[in-house]
Structure 1
């Protein structure tokens, strides 16, 4: 579904060029849930923006469904750290925003809005304004707004990082369930090893800047997964420890990291 081929990104800085990402190659399969972790400044968000078509690579190319990404695509949705809801629009009107932007008939999507509201526990809040919602509920609205597009790919840039620990856990479990139901290809950037293990089929561990794929870790733990007591706690602990060790021992890499 997503092919990243020899992608590098260099920005112009005040004191000279800043190499954010160097020669990353990675293939993400249809319906796969890939999480990306790494230290701050390693280029995680930069990589996501290139897949979204918001930033052109300095070198290499990104393809989605076989087509080179040159600009934002209608079948690729992005969820950011902050919900960025329009404060004067109700919950359901915020969810409908992409429908209006793309010139589609709102009547054709009302049943889908109802399903999304029910799935995320927002049915009773459909007429509320954003300031009447908690942070977690606002992020649920943002998730619904992305899903109303029926995206082939959903890109998520630390969407739960501003929330309290319990709300983060609840939303991570909910996102896992939505992914299992819909099978959307998801690339999820996070600083949380727990989130990465709970959600991912694979975890891409990036090195410090310039970001390269240091290791691709398979998560062979049966779904559904949870943070609580379960039959797979030993596996969760083992994978988490491996990721923790990789992040702690981050060192310079060879020039190319290809997976």
Structure 2
């Protein structure tokens, strides 16, 4: 579904990424981890068509990415909900912008899927941070995207809420599978969610190693098998910063 071929990115004289080769399957969940400044978010923006690579080529569904696509959604660190709109209206915003007709039934289904049935008329200020991110997740799903790009979507939340939302995302992916690229600083999140984990080296970011996570789903934080993979990833991150 996603193909990144020999992609490099520089901002002036500063190299952000160098020689990235990566493929992501149609329903595959790939996490990207690495130290701050290694180019994780830059890679996501390149796939989204928000940046143009300095070198190399990126394609989605065999079409070169030259601009943002309707079948690719992006979820950022903060929910960015419009405060004057209700929960339901915030979820439907992409549909209105693209003029895609009536998706209210689907919006209600998505809100029920993430445990927000009954909150459709609430405003963002009436919701907790975790609930706001659930609304943002529904908004990312409302167009039935083929690809979801997620840039540390839970990083601003407390540890308990963050763990709950990671497990919620796992459940959503099992019910509504699609290609996902998930940037995170959390090794535990990556191991819980991903089929493969890409470890980037420091700037300019290069792929140091890709780790397969073959543990059956559903997974739960604290599983012994997950802890083994987490230890392997910590060792790899130590290698690239030594």
Equivalent residue in structure 2 for 1:101, among 79, 82, 97: 97
Distance 2:159 2:167 in 1: 12
Report the counterpart of residue 126 of structure 1 in structure 2: 120
Matched residue pairs, number?
A: 242
Distance 1:238 1:251 in 2: 21
Task: Say if 2:35 is the partner of 1:39.
Answer: yes
Task: Point out where structure 1 has 5 or more consecutive residues left out of the alignment.
Answer: 253-259
Task: Say if 2:92 is the partner of 1:111.
Answer: no
1:33-182 map, 5 Å? 33-106=29-102, 109-182=103-176
Report the counterpart of residue 248 of structure 1 in structure 2: 238
Task: Say if 2:218 is the partner of 1:224.
Answer: yes
Deviation track 1:80-101 (CA, whole Å, cap 9, x = no partner) reads 0000000100000000000001
TM-score between both structures, scaled by the size of structure 1: 0.92
What SS does structure 2 have at the residue aligned with 1:116?
A: helix
Query: For the aligned residues, what is the CA RMSD?
Result: 0.9
Distance 1:176 1:132 in 2: 26
Deviation track 1:108-141 (CA, whole Å, cap 9, x = no partner) reads x111011111111111211011011100000000
Task: Say if 2:2 is the partner of 1:2.
Answer: yes
What SS does structure 2 have at the residue aligned with 1:127?
A: coil
Distance 1:158 1:185 in 2: 16
Task: Point out where structure 2 has 5 or more consecutive residues left out of the alignment.
Answer: none
Distance 2:112 2:106 in 1: 10
1:175-194 map, 5 Å? 175-194=169-188
Q: CA deviation at 1:234?
A: 2.6
Task: Say if 2:225 is the partner of 1:235.
Answer: yes
Q: CA deviation at 1:185?
A: 0.6
Equivalent residue in structure 2 for 1:18, among 6, 9, 14: 14
Report the counterpart of residue 28 of structure 1 in structure 2: 24
Q: CA deviation at 1:251?
A: 4.7
TM-score between both structures, scaled by the size of structure 2: 0.98
Report the counterpart of residue 204 of structure 1 in structure 2: 198
Distance 1:126 1:175 in 2: 20
